[in-house]
Amino acid sequence: MSSKRLKTVAVHAGSRLADSKSQPLVPAIHMSTVGWFDSSEDLDGALDGKDYVYSRISAQNTALLEEAVAALEGAEACVSYASGMAALRAVFEAQNLQRGDRVVMPGDGYGVTRALYKALCARMGVELHALSLSEAQAPGRIMELRPKFVLAESITNPLLSVPDIRALAQACEKVGAALAVDATFPSPYGQRALSLGAHYAVQSATKWLNGHSDALVGTVSASRERLAPLRSMRLLAGDVLGPFEAWLTLRGLRTLPVRMKAHCEHAAHVARRLAESPLLERVYYPGLPSHPDHAVAQAVLEGGFGPMVAFEIKGADRAESFRVLEALRLARPGPSLGDVCTLVMHAASASARRLTPEERAAAGIRESLIRVSVGLEDPDDIVEDLLGAVERRGAP
């Protein structure tokens, strides 16, 4: 029996496992923020990142997740963050932009990213140019503007345009610009942006990588050299990913290829059926031959054309679009994506909410636009629910 007093036993008992050769099939969740060492030399080395001593410096679960994401992206390394937006900000701030420098980003992309970059550029005196990067003249515009940093989206949110990442990368190379690609919509299953010439691949791993809507996570994958300043700044800023979120995302990531294959197949089926409906003005899906970027999508996307579909309801205003969301019986109205269940949102009031009305109009984001993250339900059930909701929108 221990000679320690009860208070001491309560604090210290059960803190070390007995020696075992067993290796757990599923990694443990390391919730402790602090590690301690018998050797002061080992502790000193750990403070330089040679071992796990304090989770703001490094942590076991985030290290495992970063290793897995880097492997999926075909990257040397990966840095994880507490959200996708934190990852996008970290990439921006790592560019050491100076007053008068230029940044290019998609004019038809995620509205919150645009709002973030507008604020950062305004504070720093940096010029921000929002372009339609899927247009044929986009590489030429980059060469004219000579930006220091370019952000693209593999598939834009919410209009599902598909830029030619190879052509953008070549233009960036000629003018010495760093190219980051937010590849959240296709995930590494659908596009490995680094293999197309991008310098950074960014994921809101909250979405398809996690796959279950239970963790906020962001990742940046790149060369070790490019990630070194991001890792150093994360240590100082403290925008680290928690161990449970890392564990959940690693768990979800294990089934990414299986899930994404089904999501993409379902999305293609949903898009084809929606395109036949007289209730809809237009259907956006890169896999449709009618999509203006279909040929580019065939060249830069793998494993299908992605799991996202969007459509415009014929003659609908915001109020009618809201009624469509309320009339859904299977799909869930929600401002995110990447879950096993189908999620539907009104684009102008959600993903494009941070854009001004003028910016939405310039991008072509109308009040009738609905974005769909296609789930793993039977695709015909998804179509019937969507079209049924459109039909029921005017019913009392």
Q: Among all residues, which ones are annotated catalytic?
A: 56, 110, 182, 207
Q: 264 CB contacts (<8 Å, ≥6 apart)?
A: 190, 303, 304, 305, 306, 307
Please return the burial class of 26, using the count of CB atoms within 10 Å of its CB with bins 0-12, 13-18 and 19+.
Answer: exposed
